[in-house]
Structure 1
Amino acid sequence: MMGVTSLIVFLTTAVLTADMHPLHYRELDSLTRGSEAVNAVLATDSAALCSLILFVDSKTSSRSVSEIIGNLKASEGIAVFAVAGDNQDYNETQAQLCRMVDQARRLRQVSRCLRMMVVSDDAAFLVAFAECSLEGRLLVWSNRLLAVTRLSLQQLQQLHETFSQTNSILLLVNTVAGYLHYNMYIHLPYTPRDTKALRVASWTPKRGLVLTTHLPLFPNKFYKFLQKPSLVVAGGQYEPHVNVLFNSKTPQDTEVTFYGPMINLLEIFALNINFSYRIVRPPDGVWGAKMPNGTWIGMVGMVVRKEVDFALGPFGITAVRYEAADYTRPIVIDYARIMARRGRPEVDPWGFVLPLAPLVWAATLTTLLLLCLILLLLSKCSSYLHINRETTASYSVLDYLRVLLQQDVFVRKGSWWQRMLLIAWMTVTLVLTRSYSGNLMSLLAVRYSLQPYQTLQDAVDDPSVALIWEEDSSYVQSFRRATSGIYKAVTDLEKIGRNVYLTFSSISERAPTLVRRGDHVLVLEENSENVYIAQDFSTTERCDFYLSREKVLPLMFAMIGRKNSPLVPVLSNRIRSVKEAGLYDYWMKTSVPNSSSCAHTSTKTTVKASLSLTNLSGMFVVLVSGYGLGLLVFGLEAIIDWSKMSRS
């Protein structure tokens, strides 16, 4: 321990000699001989390689403590915490123990592993130690505890819940016919308080340590329950993971049925770990959020208040929730996307430019310009060399433009190179114009569905649309903490009433209707939005909604349990097996009918209809613009000619 392997003794408020009471020989003998039983117990799990912390009360003599320490083995060192004085005040004893637990936690941070032992015949002392250890998170599953006492099981019923939820063994010292006899007990988890502890081993000086069951010492009681307990599980509607079906038998009696992938997973847990369960819904209908006063609401609050043993969720993993509960292994990774109404198919008035890609338009005009420059250059050279002097200016550069526009061209007498240039350009133009005209007729029958909200910024910038969020979800908690950027802009929308918060159960009922109106968009997990789209398609046989291209706020989702609960790692092991087998992904795909019907819906729709002015409005704009430009040039030429004539 910190490089020291010798004996380490911590004294809290007084030395270990002045305030301790002497014991009779019989009492001293039972404690000192008990160290052999303790060593036998600790040796079964290589505890000799760990640090050992010993807690004793003020009634334990210094001689017995020295005898116990001398017989114990711990290569990392032994620390002793003793309550000083003969204080009968429970509150003062608890205060001293809590300070000891805090020091022991610091000791744990520099130790490779830790084993603990508490020795006392005072039930109040043991209860105070249990409360401080649990509150101070010293008594966790990885830190095994051995409690040594002469008290009977009936006198220790107050410790039943603590010992049942921790990795603890109760060592009772008994005297049978004048001989010392030690029995080791464990308390099974999730059993009533009056349930008798299970004896797993015994120790006598003659026979040593003898196991009385098939279980080892310090068994993993949560891997598979020996007795089938009934657990309370928090759950709520969260499609597609959890679905809730209400069946009203009578006006006063409503039967609630849960189904979905998470329920399938829960059934595997119940069968494999051996427990029955009862699902309860949160009264407020939310997942869980921390209030300004430090309390928790929703299913997280139910776990914190120990109203349930664990909660299904799955819950988005956030740092704030981790302060209150422990997460299991992640079950799924999901993203938030925008679900909005798909626009009605509309005509694109500028569709006549679509048959050719922009690069083709640029290449065509560039080629035309180069041909004109080559023509002018060769014409100059021909004039300089006196070749076909009469045809030097016969070919105008506008002839090539006339060919592109499919107008007539009068071929005059000229050189062979002029004819070759014209033939090559006519060939290219023929292929280009035929392809254009064929594609144009096809595109005039295409309608385009508008999808304006592809990013969160698009929705924020449109003042006519409101954003629907799940109330107190992990996404809402994330953007409310933002101080800049797009998430801060989303937070600012609350001031003008553009953020709408609904519980998850009401989202499935109201959100599709609000989004269909066109003045709302839904920001939620992609998997849940796909359920709403699939359900709408099953009803209307249309794909009226779409999801944005942008994915925001990626989160891992998992179940939650009580803080430091040993059940959480057991659930995580089962989750890993289910995920590796691909079962959960399979359940997700098969739980929603028509889940992929609208996954790849095109934004273009082909129709059979007569051409209207709307289809050709872009062409008329080009025509009118051309006439206007021609009139402008004509006017400028007239003004220039008039100016010349007036000067002359």
Structure 2
Amino acid sequence: MHYPNIEFHPQSPQEVLDLVSGLEGELLKHFVLEYNMHLTLVAPKDMEFGIKLLNNTWTGKFGLLEREEVDFVVGLITGNWERRFLGTYLAPLYNIKFSLASRKYPAKISWNAPFTVFSEFVWGVMLVCLVLVAGCMTTLAQIEGHHHSRRLKSDNNDIVSLFLELFGSALKQSSQRATCGPIYLTFATWSLCLFVVFSVYSSYLTARLSVPDPENNINTMRDIWEAKRTLLVWRGGTVDLYMRTTHDPDTKYIVANYHRYTDTIPNFSNVKALDGYRYVVVPEIEGFRFNVLAGLDGINRKIIDYHFSTEPLIDVFCSWIASRKFREGPAMALAMLRIQGMGLLTKWSTDRLNVDGKKSISTRKLASENTHIPVVNTNKTLTLNILKGVFLAWVCGISISVAVFFAEISITRLLVKRPKPRRIVVAQYIE
């Protein structure tokens, strides 16, 4: 079945929650509030599993893929679904493409730039004017040279009048020469530099969008509790959800614990041994799989689990639990845990998921070995630094040209106006 693409321009957080439920809806709501972005839901080529919650709402499952055309993968129900077996439903898997919102909405950039997305045009006009003025001054300085004093006809000390007089003289002299005189050559050179540098810099800035790191890093269970977040640990096809409640904050409640691979890691089921994300592993072979675990511990609830990333970029990703017992209150206040580097918009390779499930998890390198290593795209960072350096050097060159020209004409004006000493000749007559 063919599914059309969906252009989604949310005007309010509620519109996001009407489209995507669960934790994914909360994440999208956060992005809309922080970055005012619009989404493009790219239709899938085939069907994948989606999940229906107990409250008869559908939820989308996020995952990161190393694909150029998508940033997220989310399962969305569009009204067409098929029940395969107990607790699992068939749904289209839509790909979400994040991009900056339309121009009428404000946007945030993760690093301080000389201009923002919506002031590009204004800054562009200002820079063009600055380049033209600098080109005029540079050309006038070259044409006039040490002949400034001979061409001055005005006795006015106004620097503007002086500049206009020099500018007219330069235009007249340049027009009398070849078609491509020095003034036109200078204008063309500065304009070309402006077009190349500003276009590349502006487009790169507009395309770059990242999620900043949280102010408080979350490294331990105490940090998680203080941040009022819930720790989720993927463990060989299971989800362990540790939470606290407001009425008993000193007690950790294990909402779901499906004991698989428990014996391969010593003290794995011990909450204290977790100490954050030290035992976050992904032994699944397939890229993404959605499972519904029903009736655990005799409690009427469903747990939806899927892959977590062991990349240093995302220590623990997201999951969702729908339970009649824990549906309301702080137990459902799930959130992202820790984001490093570029955050959720940074793609990670699905090859990390291709792990042989038969091997002992204890032989794998766990996420704790790379938890505190920041991962940055070196090529993009290097390109951005070089681009910023070229831009700043270019601006400095213009500023220096303007300063030198004004200094030159100021010195010339002073020399012209300085009265020449009179030579007094004394004649002596000898009688």
User: Could you tell me the TM-score, scaled by structure 1's length?
Assistant: 0.17
Relative CO higher for 1 or 2, CA cutoff 8 Å, sep ≥ 6?
Answer: 2
Structure richer in strand, relative to its length: 1
TM-score where L is the length of structure 2: 0.23
